Amino acid sequence: MAVSKKIEGMITQSSWIRKMFEDGIRLKQQFGAENVFDFSLGNPNVPPPRELLKALIAVAKDERPGVHAYMPNAGFPETRAVLASKLGRDHGVKIAAEHVIMTCGAAGALNVILKTLLDPGDEVIVPAPYFVEYRAYVDNHNGVLKLVKTKEDFSLDLWAIAEAITEKTKVILINSPNNPTGRVYDETSIRALASLLEDKGKKLGRALYLISDEPYDKIVYDGVEVPSLLKAYRHSLIASSYSKTLSIPGERLGYIAVNPETEGLEILLGGLIMCNRMLGFVNAPAFMQRVLPKVLDAAVNIGEYQRKRDLLCNGLAACGYEFTKPEGAFYLFPKSPVADDVEFVRALQKRNILTVPGSGFGSPGYFRIAYCVDDATIVNSMKGFGEVIRAFRK
């Protein structure tokens, strides 16, 4: 056998998102790109801010000796310092450069954190719907993923989280704004979760770590704000990236921010830096680390995503779909009109509409639409969306 049984099983159960994306390529070749409505992949389509393009050019012209040399595994000290200063302002906490570690995207950040924290068999509690890759990330480091349901509107169910905590629980991992629902967990929920974990941690005699995956933290709508995890809970870490806020997912630039008051801070920081190296990331891309200080306050045009959200929501509501309007990110998670969400997604695919079944996100009976697409894709897909839901309701 060419690969391990474990990897063979993972290939067999590979991500629906990637599967639909690959189907999209095939259908576009067959029918033409303008006749295929691909909502499968959360690939940002709003252009990067002009400040970023100017910074890229400026940094590329830097001919100083040593700019491409090795660096500390945690990243360039000057980059970490300016990022820490901004995080301190944004979160209202005192955070220094030493509490920030530059990573290869948020995915790299999460793998570094989980490698550092988990012993074999440790449980990681994740509210569902959840980002599909979390299962693989937890498994990478011999942890056990434990899903808990959210409420009907996808807000946190604190009772369900409390019931799920056991002697084996080490981490609670949340994602806000959430992929696939667009839900932002509000400040009341975050503070209540923090209080719950403090209480449970005291009873267990050890810290429960709260990790927030926040690559969409600046993509929010209607005056909604993402509450500060660092301010709410001392045993907290943030994993984030600039993939979405600057529209540069291919550049793999992210970071870990560690609450300075967390238990065992020094050894935790040492572990994170060591795992950044030993997992093979070594350090975040040097070129983009030099770019970042020049664009810390820049962002894509969030209004474009809000307009696309409203265009999609208005169209689907007129067709008769039921959904909770997203507060952030660029995903909509409507209810499937039939219990079998896979069947419904396949029916949409026959109309050249590519979405992802909710089963892949731990929530059967729903499906995900990534609306980071051209307006024409949204508008021209409505005929097919309407035809399919009417066919299922006959």
pLDDT number for residue 67: 86
Contacts of 304 (CB under 8 A, 6+ apart): 46
Domains of the chain: 5-49+300-392 (3.90.1150.10), 64-294 (3.40.640.10)
CA distances from 134 to 108, 131, 149, 190, 386 (A): 12, 6, 15, 20, 33
pLDDT number for residue 34: 76
pLDDT number for residue 31: 72
Rounded to 5 degrees, what are φ and ψ at 256?
-115, 135
pLDDT number for residue 230: 96
pLDDT number for residue 41: 86
pLDDT number for residue 22: 74
Output the CA angle 242-16-354, nearest 5 degrees: 90
- Cα 243 to Cα 322: distance, rounded to the nearest angstrom: 30
pLDDT number for residue 30: 75
Name the token pair of 150. Answer: 């959210």
Name the token pair of 89. Answer: 């302002």
Name the token pair of 176. Answer: 């806000």
pLDDT number for residue 5: 80
- Cα 102 to Cα 96: distance, rounded to the nearest angstrom: 13
pLDDT number for residue 114: 98
| Mean pLDDT, contiguous 10-residue spans, the chain (394 residues) | 75 65 74 83 93 96 88 96 96 96 98 98 98 95 98 97 98 98 98 98 97 97 96 97 95 97 95 96 96 96 98 98 98 97 94 93 96 97 97 85
pLDDT number for residue 257: 98
pLDDT number for residue 15: 65
Name the token pair of 375. Answer: 């307006």
- Please, is 347 exposed, middle or buried when counting C-beta atoms within 10 Å of its C-beta (0-12, 13-18, 19+)? buried
Residue 50, number of CB atoms within 10 A of its CB: 10
Look up the pTM and report it. Answer: 0.95
pLDDT number for residue 160: 98
Q: Which residue has the tokens 């940002």?
A: 44
pLDDT number for residue 26: 77
Which amino acid does the sequence have at 24?
G
pLDDT number for residue 29: 76
Residue 4, number of CB atoms within 10 A of its CB: 9
